[in-house]
Amino acid sequence: MIQVFNFGIATAASLFFPLHPPAASTIAPQVDYLYYFLTAFTLFFTFLIFAFIFYFMVKYRRRSEDEVPEEVKVSIPLELTWTLIPTAICALIFFWGSSLFFRNARPPANSMEVFVVGKQWMWQLQHANGAREINELHVPLNVPVKLTMTSEDVIHDFFVPAFRVKEDVLPGRYTSIWFQATKLGSFMFECAQMCGAFHSSMHGEVIVMKPDDFAHWLATNAPSQTMSSAGGQLFSQLGCASCHQEDSSGKYPQLAGIYGHQVTLRNGARATVDEGFLRSAIVNPNSEPVAGYSVSMPSFQGQINEVQLLDLIAYIKTLGAARKEAAIQ
């Protein structure tokens, strides 16, 4: 019934103007479905209230100044009905909306990674092979893509209406979203968080390509260095290697294989080494010191920008990969 009704209003209204942006990702149709359910629910209750008001206002209009209305007793069952039925419907919508959100909260393990840095008023994007883009993002069709995002200055927000994904992009930490595009073409992305004078011009396009075309694009745009090799170069330039080397006799943390593992902090808490952990370990090393190491590391705050930080983290991640593969074999 509701489906038919939803479909009805969607088609009727779309004759005049579109009611939703293109649905070009795996989650977009799921979000739209809940949206149309809620729209139908809203229209139903609005018309219900309107209908009652009109009916009562006409039927029980004041006919003379001295009219004395009839007594009406408060009915507790009626009060309970209009408390409990809305509560039940709200619970249904809550579980529907939350489960959809929860299912899509974590990117699949095989996601292609792209790194995003927002700054007033542009987007810098970088692929793992080092290919850089400004205000454009090329992605392959039907492949999950994970964006790891940070800001050089104020809070921005990366929003792709056609994919129904949005997340704030904060200075000093990483946030991430993921999507899997299901339609070829180009789709607008915009900054959704007010970030200053040219906030409304901070937009670009996601270009969804066939996987073969994308591979070709990626190869032709590949710079001489991948992110991790650029990171490796920084690793030696900044002198990281002098402490974090293979045979430092346990004085300094070993970085090989550390990504994705749990470590114990000096305060006894456990933490997973992810991008965010590595980032704060570089720029603010004494905020979450790892247990077992007494020497404190100098901070690299202000000496390294967000793009370099992402390179460095990409390099640290590769240090683990070689060992893991060896272990599997």
Which 241-300 positions form the footprint of another protein (CB under 8 A)?
284, 287
Show contacts with another protein in window 128-157 (CB under 8 A): 153-155, 157
Is 311:279 a contact under the CB 8 Å cutoff?
Answer: no
Show contacts with another protein in window 173-212 (CB under 8 A): 173, 175, 188, 190-201
Four-residue CA torsion sign, 16, 20, 25, 31? negative
Q: Does 65 bind another protein (CB under 8 A)?
A: yes
Choose which of 11, 87, 237, 272 interacts with another protein (CB under 8 A). 87
User: For another protein, which is the closer residue by CB, 267 or 329?
Assistant: 267
Measure the CA–CA gap between 157 and 190, rounded to whole angstroms.
Answer: 8
Question: How far apart are the two ends of the chain, measured CA to CA in Å?
Answer: 56
Q: Does 79 bind another protein (CB under 8 A)?
A: yes
User: For another protein, which is the closer residue by CB, 7 or 94?
Assistant: 94
Is 137:146 a contact under the CB 8 Å cutoff?
Answer: no
Measure the CA–CA gap between 244 and 260, rounded to whole angstroms.
Answer: 18
Choose which of 18, 77, 250, 298 interacts with another protein (CB under 8 A). 18
Q: Does 15 bind another protein (CB under 8 A)?
A: no
Q: Does 34 bind another protein (CB under 8 A)?
A: yes
Measure the CA–CA gap between 139 and 256, rounded to whole angstroms.
Answer: 30
User: For another protein, which is the closer residue by CB, 166 or 183?
Assistant: 166
User: For another protein, which is the closer residue by CB, 138 or 199?
Assistant: 199
- Encoded tokens for 53: 């008001």
DSSP 298: P
Q: Are strands 156-160 and 185-191 parallel, antiparallel or unpaired?
A: antiparallel
User: For another protein, which is the closer residue by CB, 34 or 269?
Assistant: 34
Looking at residue 187, its amino acid is F
Query: What is the closest distance, in whole angstroms, from the C-beta atom of residue 197 to another protein in the complex?
Result: 4
Burial class (CB in 10 A: 0-12, 13-18, 19+), 287: exposed
Longest distance between any two alpha carbons in the chain, whole Å: 99
Is 33:169 a contact under the CB 8 Å cutoff?
Answer: no
Choose which of 118, 130, 161, 253 interacts with another protein (CB under 8 A). 161
Mark residues 295-324: x for contact with another protein by CB under 8 A, - for none.
------xx----------------------
User: For another protein, which is the closer residue by CB, 256 or 304?
Assistant: 304
Measure the CA–CA gap between 72 and 87, rounded to whole angstroms.
Answer: 26
Determine the 3-state secondary structure of 67 from DSSP.
coil
Q: Does 165 bind another protein (CB under 8 A)?
A: yes
Q: Which stretch binds another protein (CB under 8 A): 33-41, 107-115, 133-141, 214-222?
A: 33-41
Q: Which stretch binds another protein (CB under 8 A): 2-10, 165-173, 212-220, 263-271?
A: 165-173
The number of C-alpha atoms within 13 Å of 295 and in the hemisphere containing its C-beta is 9
- Total residues contacting another protein (rule CB under 8 A)? 86
Query: What is the closest distance, in whole angstroms, from the C-beta atom of residue 203 to another protein in the complex?
Result: 8
